[in-house]
Amino acid sequence: MKKIIILLNLFFFYFSQGYSEEWKIKNKWKVSCGIVDKESLVVNGKPITKFSKKEFKLENVVFKLDKGDIGSCPTDKKPAYKYNYSGRQEISHRLPEGKTIFETDIITEGAPQYRSTVFQIHDGRNKGAPPSWIGVGMDWKIKYKFPKGECKPEKCKKIKTAYLMPGKKYRFKASIDYQKKTKTLSVFYYLNNEMIAKHIDVPLS
């Protein structure tokens, strides 16, 4: 049976508000939507079998979906692209205002899918791509998304072709700048300390 497994280990979520040089660590995560099954989400070595809105600290997490596993968000049961459903297992973290660095080791295993999300920043919009999205496709090549027509090509673009090949460990980093007053978001993506993409001054809804 086809499956995809994504392991994220050693999360670092630093943030700095305003022009302060003091960086703090935030580690308050929640399960998004629900739990697919007893194997789909393992947090700090423990399977999560029941959905809860409680926050938790994270050291490592494993996402595992088998072919046919349908996500728990309402839209997951609806057709998407050329498929009848969407597989989904997510955790989320509130994005602080100002500058944030998200950094983790990542390992993928299993069979590739049409689209597998690795990291995204969402502003709650119901249609179109989120302000910044990164994932992998059928060839394990890293893909990027941002709202069409809302970011100029020179500001939102791929810097380098990159892959998340199964069984290999990669260091992934997102350097984020969220400005609440101007409703803009900028994200620089790195893989093994090399910049691979940037989304600058993306407008938020």
Radius of gyration of the chain (CA): 17
Cα atoms found within 13 Å of the Cα of residue 171, Cβ hemisphere only: 6
Higher pLDDT, 15 or 82: 82
pLDDT score at 114: 87
pLDDT at 86 over 80: yes
* Domain ranges (residues) in the chain: 9-26+95-205, 28-92
Q: What is the pLDDT of residue 1?
A: 43
Q: Is the pLDDT of residue 167 over 90?
A: yes
Cα–Cα distance list, 86 to 8, 115, 166, 185, 199 (Å): 21, 10, 21, 27, 26
Reply yes or no on whether the pLDDT at 132 is more than 80.
yes
pLDDT at residue 18 in the model: 54
CA neighbours within 13 Å on the CB side: how many for 162?
22
Mean local confidence (pLDDT), 188-202? 98
Q: Tens of pLDDT along 93-123?
A: 999 999 999 999 999 999 888 889 999 999 9
What does the alpha-carbon distance between residue 67 and residue 69 come to, in Å, rounded to a whole number? Answer: 6
Nearest Cα to 189, choosing from 138, 130, 120?
A: 120
Contact between 63 and 41 under an 8 Å Cβ cutoff? The reply is yes
Per-residue pLDDT at 20 exceeds 70 = no
For residue 104, the model assigns a pLDDT of: 93
Question: Mean pLDDT in the chain?
Answer: 90
3-class SS at 26?
A: coil
Is pTM beyond 0.85? Reply is yes
**6 secondary structure, DSSP code:** E
Instruction: Give the rounded percent of residues in the chain with a pLDDT score beyond 70.
Output: 91
H-only helix segments in the chain: none
- Please, is 164 exposed, middle or buried when counting C-beta atoms within 10 Å of its C-beta (0-12, 13-18, 19+)? buried
